[in-house]
Each structure stands twice: as structure tokens, then as C-alpha cells.
Amino acid sequence: MRKKVLIIHTGGTFAMVLGSGQTATKQHSSNLLENLLQQIPELASLAEIDLKVICNIDSSDVTIDIWKLLAKTIFESWSQCDGFVVVHGTDTMAWTASALAFFLGGLTKPVVFTGAQRPLTALRSDARMNMIDAVELATHGIPEVMICFDSKVHRATRATKYSNEHLYAYKSYNSPKIGSFGVNIKLNKKVLNSILPEAKRHAPSINSEINGNITSLMCVPGAIPSLTFIDGLLSSTEGIIIQGFGAGNLPISGKIWLELFERALDRKIPIVISTQCESGSVDLQLYENGRRFAALGGISALDMTFEAASVKLMIMLGRKIPFEKRQSFFATPLAFECQSIDSIPSI
Ligand code: ASP
């Protein structure tokens, strides 16, 4: 039987029109479906296509309300479609795709994010091939939120935008790709085997409880936050994520970072420690500079991407996970964002 795919448009470069030089601007939303099917008529041979435009924005302007609306739109059309393609700007696609992977439980159908580095109408645009691959992938029944870009298929929670120059814009970190497109689609059997049995266990569900009141900091050697900054931060934010060095190390000399953790612990404000490294896992037990912060309640982002870890922090706050369960919540995979670990540091 002919498969039905719902394409949900949110914006980004994909459907922009070219201005002078390299500039791209938004086109009117009402023309989007007509233009898409005119430019890529092959889509009709892959599936019956429907299109919904939920917004048409640069993805830097995406909000958690848009993540929720997207999840609701997919959930409401669940029984009518075989798969979903989300057109999204590349800049923040990994956050939205991670949020959807956390929101949608018991997936039984594919949700495929795609976009483009150059608009559909541009010379040497990647939009056309990305869309054909994404729609084809959406007919393949893989029950997972994925990013399909430049012929590669990534798990939503393992992908990060790697380049704003190459058409190869996304990479998977700390986890193999789900597959790739060449002459045929090649899917990674090992990854698929890990998905399928789990998907059969639940009925599809949606849980979009989330709290966006978090702050992200990146550690720079020699840059010292002031006490005034720390006070202001702790009185205005409910969760913090810090990108430390290497295995999650932060400065202990000068004591200011330790002070931040002590004060946050007093107020039960969670601090997640992530890393500036692209790959590899945070291990707070490896060095004294990690152990000191783990002892003050620092939560390891483990091998999660920064995108998945920051969204998971928002979800932990949104679901009001009690203080004593936060470490284990963070260390437990919800949507393949991390590997499970047996030992969780106690504080
Ligand atoms: N600024 C654009 C966006 O993320 C970039 C893109 O779509 O590639 O919306």
C-alpha cells in the first residue's frame, strides 16, 4: 500500500529564496507546498505527501513552545501517517530533534528531521537530495527520531551540527550512524536491533513537560566569574550546564567555581557538567578537578552531546525530578542519548 508522509515545515534555509550574493530570505508560507512539489516532483512517487507549516522562522528563533507544538502536531496525525519529515533550520535542529526524541515515547514510526545548507532554488543546493532521502527514510518504518542530512542518517540525540560550510553538516558523536544513502539505503543492523524490540514495548505517548529556565556557561582558562555574577545567576536560573575541559574538569584554583557549586547545592539548583570536546565521555572521577565538583553535586553529562544534555536538563526540571533522584535520572538513557552506567556518584 502507498505510504503517507506528513512533511512539517518549521523554517530554515531549506525553503528560503535567494537574494543578492549569498543571502537567503524567507518565502511566503502559503507557497511552500506548491513550490516543494513543483521543484521535487519525485516526492509523489515515494509517498503520498501532505504538508503542514507550523512556523517559518530562522531556527535561532525556535522556542520550547515550538518544540511542544511540533510534538503535538506529530502526535495528532500519528494514526493517519506512516512517517513524518520535519523541515528545520540546521543551526538548532539537533536541539529540536533531541527534544522530540525525549517528548515522544513508544515510537512506532519514523520522525525524520532534515534541512539544507543552501536553499532549494540555489545552484548546487543540497535541499533536493536531503528531502528525497528524508521522505524515503520516513517510509521505512524505523521507529526513531532521526536527522537525515547529506545522505547520512543520525540518531537525533547523538547528532551535532559540525560545519556551516560543508554539505556534510551533521555528525554522530559517541554512537554509530543509523545508516547512509548511496545507490541504496544502508542501515546499521546493530543499531536497528537495539531500537526495534524496545519500540514494541509501549503505546505511543507524549510527555512535553519542560522548563527552559536554564543557563549555559563555557569555561575559559583564566576567565574568572565574579561573586556578583554568581549571585545574580543563582537567583534567576533553575538549572545550569557548564562546558568544562576534557573529561569535565573545571578550575579549582581561585575557588570561584567551587563557590558556585557550593551555593547551587545549598539552593538545590542542579549543575550539569558537559565538555568542550566533540567526542568522548565526561568522567568526573578521573581527575581531582572533576572529583571536587562531583562531590558538590555536579551531574555528569556522560557521553551526551551538548544539545541532548541541555534539553535533558530542561526536561529534568520540567518533570520536577526530586533532588535525590537527579543523578540517576541524568544517567539513565531516555532516548539513546547516553550509554547506561552502573555506578552513579553519591554526594
Ligand atoms: N540560520 C538557518 C537556520 O538554522 C541556517 C539553516 O537553515 O541552515 O534556520
> Which domains does the chain carry?
4-206 (3.40.50.1170), 214-331 (3.40.50.40)
CA angle 290, 292, 296 (to 5 degrees): 115
Q: Rounded CA gap, 300 and 281, in Å?
A: 9
Active site residue 92: no
pLDDT digits (tens, 9 = 90+) for 148-163: 999 999 999 999 999 9
Grid cell of 132 as nine digits: 528525497
What is the average pLDDT value for the chain, to the nearest integer? 92
Lowest mean pLDDT among 24-33, 50-59, 245-254, 285-294: 24-33
In sequence order, the 6+-apart residues with CB closer than 8 A to the CB of 224 are 254, 256
147-164 burial: b if 16+ Cβ within 10 Å, else e: bbbbbbbbbbbbbbbeee
User: What residue owns the CA closest to ligand 1's atom 8?
Assistant: 90
Q: How far, in Å, is the centroid of ligand 1 from the Cα of 290?
A: 35
Q: Rounded CA gap, 242 and 118, in Å?
A: 32
For residue 284, the model assigns a pLDDT of 97
CA angle 228, 246, 169 (to 5 degrees): 100
347 confidence band (pLDDT: 50, 70, 90): very low
The closest-lying atom of ligand 1 relative to the alpha carbon of residue 57 is 9
> Cell 503542514 maps to which residue?
52
C-beta atoms surrounding 339 within 10 Å: 13
If one residue of 18, 23, 91 were mutated to test the ligand 1 pocket, choosing by the most ligand atoms within 8 A of its CB, it would be 91
Which DSSP letter does residue 47 get? S
| pLDDT surpasses 60 at 342 | no
Percent of the chain that is helix, strand, coil (3-state, to 5): 35, 20, 40
Please tell me whether the overall predicted TM-score, pTM, comes out greater than 0.85 for this model: yes
Q: Rounded CA gap, 103 and 256, in Å?
A: 36
Phi, psi of 270 (to 5 degrees): -70, 140
